[in-house]
């Protein structure tokens, strides 16, 4: 399963945020595809469409979908303190599919900051630079091998060499691999390099309790936003401490608490949604009278693969998928009405499933 790693310098609020995630978290038993590991937090994906579908279909039960966050600090804790962030840290970042980079934007007298002052941009750059250097080192090794072949006019080597040279130039200018626009063909090679800085990133600005309602006036948050814009990344503002408290409340209490704070949606819910998108994940639904359920798929998957997420037999024996978009179904008011309005399509093996599709698979057993 794809996972988003939580990364950041010490004392920025990673453990607090990860606690919030595990407290709010879903029962692993309901999600057999998820990893059971103390450093992995399973979260349900908040999706208002699921409630609407439930009202429409009135099923016996409703099941949200889920995915995983990995607490990299938790894994690395106890790793020997070497130069920089350490190889263990880097090797664990290598294993996650996207990065949620937590940055401290709260000033607090009693909580020491590793570098003695709160400076979110400096913090971000400390980590990013470390990742860039690791990538530089790994491509330099590769360049050594490819260069010889490229000089002998080996076509493939020449193609790769050009990519490596571009990467090297970026790294030497302290720029991540994701800052370069590659063609689809080139991307295939880049993927094979397993670079740390080609992973997608979002920044999590951790602000204090008193600032969460008006986070935009926090100058640290502003700076992070400016930085993120250059990095084509999103910024989610949270107060990890409050999220930890909210995570213990039930839905009703949570809604009241958020209203008191003057926020519409909890930072954690925003983070969950943003990380899901960052991983390239999307949701389709099944909506029967027994069960209305959200399913996670990777954008780019075709109908049979998506059917296979429910059961491998669905993929093997796939015939067609009756499909209606969530919007069309809701506008029609019922499955029957949607069918009468001609909104229910019969999609075949080549159909690229879209976020919000409501699907019913037909298959041979
Ligand atoms: P980590 O080292 O990045 O995992 O940081 P921790 O989650 O352990 O947090 C470091 C310290 O900052 C702890 O004492 C937390 O209670 C505190 N902290 C974390 N988030 C917040 C926050 O949003 N507001 C305040 N005031 N303190 C926080």
Give the pLDDT confidence of 266-279 residue by residue, as tens digits: 999 999 999 999 99
Distance CA 241, CA 227 (A): 24
Query: Cβ < 6 Å from ligand 1: which residues?
Result: 8, 10-16, 73, 106, 108, 111, 206, 208-209, 239-241
Outline where the chain has alpha helix (H): 14-24, 48-57, 72-76, 87-95, 120-151, 155-172, 184-192, 219-230, 240-246, 251-261, 267-278, 303-310, 312-316, 326-332, 335-340
Distance CA 188, CA 223 (A): 34
Give, using CA atoms, the residue closest to atom 26 of ligand 1.
Answer: 208
Ligand 1 pocket test: pick from 103, 218, 240 the residue with the most ligand atoms within 8 Å of its Cβ. 240
Considering the chain, tell me which residue range(s) the CATH 3.10.20.30 domain(s) occupy: 300-363
CA angle 106, 26, 293 (to 5 degrees): 120
Backbone phi, psi, residue 347, to 5°: -105, 145
Residue 241 CA, ligand 1 centroid: distance in Å: 7
Given the structure tokens 């008193």, which residue do they identify?
210
Which ligand 1 atom lies nearest to the CA of residue 108? 26
Is 14 annotated in a binding site? The answer is yes
Ligand 1 pocket test: pick from 6, 13, 100, 113 the residue with the most ligand atoms within 8 Å of its Cβ. 13
Ligand 1 pocket test: pick from 8, 16, 206, 218 the residue with the most ligand atoms within 8 Å of its Cβ. 16
Using CA atoms, how far residue 282 sits from 33, 61, 112, 143, 321, in Å, is 16, 21, 39, 37, 17
As its CATH architecture, domain 127-197 has Orthogonal Bundle (1.10)
Whole-complex ipTM: 0.94
Distance CA 125, CA 112 (A): 19
Is 324 annotated in a binding site? The answer is no
What 3-state class would DSSP assign to 336?
helix
Give, using CA atoms, the residue closest to atom 15 of ligand 1.
Answer: 13
Question: What sign does the dihedral 195-282-28-237 (CA atoms) show?
Answer: positive
What 3-state class would DSSP assign to 201?
strand
Residues sharing a CB contact under 8 Å with residue 269, sequence separation 6 or more, in sequence order:
46
Statement: the pTM of the whole predicted model exceeds 0.95: no
List of the chain residues with pLDDT < 50: 78-80
pLDDT at 365: 79
Which ligand 1 atom lies nearest to the CA of residue 16? 7
Residue 85 CA, ligand 1 centroid: distance in Å: 19
Is 354 annotated in a binding site? The answer is no
With respect to CATH, is domain 3-46+63-113+200-278 assigned 3.40.50.300? Answer: yes
With respect to CATH, is domain 300-363 assigned 3.10.20.30? Answer: yes
pLDDT at 94: 92
Considering the chain, tell me which residue range(s) the CATH 3.40.50.300 domain(s) occupy: 3-46+63-113+200-278
Give, using CA atoms, the residue closest to atom 14 of ligand 1.
Answer: 111
Is 22 annotated in a binding site? The answer is no
Residue 13 CA, ligand 1 centroid: distance in Å: 4
Using CA atoms, how far residue 288 sits from 53, 299, 328, in Å, is 10, 24, 17
Considering the chain, tell me which residue range(s) the CATH 1.10.150.300 domain(s) occupy: 127-197
């Amino acid at each position: 399963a794809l996972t988003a790693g939580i990364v950041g310098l010490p004392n920025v609020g990673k453990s607090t945020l990860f606690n919030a995630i595990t407290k709010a978290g879903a029962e692993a038993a309901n999600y057999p595809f998820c990893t059971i590991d103390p450093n992995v937090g399973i979260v349900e994906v908040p999706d208002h469409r699921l409630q609407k579908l439930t009202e429409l279909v009135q099923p016996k039960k409703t099941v949200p979908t889920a995915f995983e966050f990995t607490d990299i600090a938790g894994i690395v804790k106890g790793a020997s303190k070497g130069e920089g962030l350490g190889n263990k840290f880097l090797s664990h970042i290598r294993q996650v599919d996207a990065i949620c980079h937590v940055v401290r934007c709260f000033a607090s007298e009693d909580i020491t900051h590793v570098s003695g002052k709160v400076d979110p941009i400096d913090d971000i750059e400390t980590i990013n630079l470390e990742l860039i250097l690791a990538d530089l080192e790994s491509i330099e090794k590769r360049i050594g091998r490819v260069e010889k072949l490229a000089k002998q006019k080996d076509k493939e080597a020449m193609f790769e060499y050009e990519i490596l040279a571009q990467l090297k130039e970026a790294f030497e200018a302290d720029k991540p691999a994701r800052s370069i626009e590659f063609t689809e063909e080139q991307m295939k090679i880049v993927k094979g390099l397993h670079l740390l800085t080609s992973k997608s990133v979002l920044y999590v600005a951790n602000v204090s309790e008193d600032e969460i309602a008006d986070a935009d006036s926090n100058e640290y948050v502003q700076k992070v936003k400016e930085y993120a814009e250059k990095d084509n990344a999103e910024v989610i503002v949270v107060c990890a401490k409050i999220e930890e408290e909210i995570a213990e409340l039930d839905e009703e209490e949570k809604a009241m608490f958020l209203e008191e704070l003057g926020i519409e949606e909890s930072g954690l819910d925003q983070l969950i949604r943003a990380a899901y998108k960052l991983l390239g994940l999307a949701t389709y639904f099944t909506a029967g009278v027994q069960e209305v359920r959200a399913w996670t798929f990777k954008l780019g998957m075709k109908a049979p693969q998506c059917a296979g997420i429910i059961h491998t037999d669905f993929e093997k024996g796939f015939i067609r998928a009756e499909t209606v978009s969530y919007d069309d179904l809701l506008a029609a008011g019922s499955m029957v009405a949607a069918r009468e309005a001609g909104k229910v399509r019969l999609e075949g093996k080549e159909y690229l499933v879209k976020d919000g599709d409501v699907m019913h698979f037909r298959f041979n057993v």
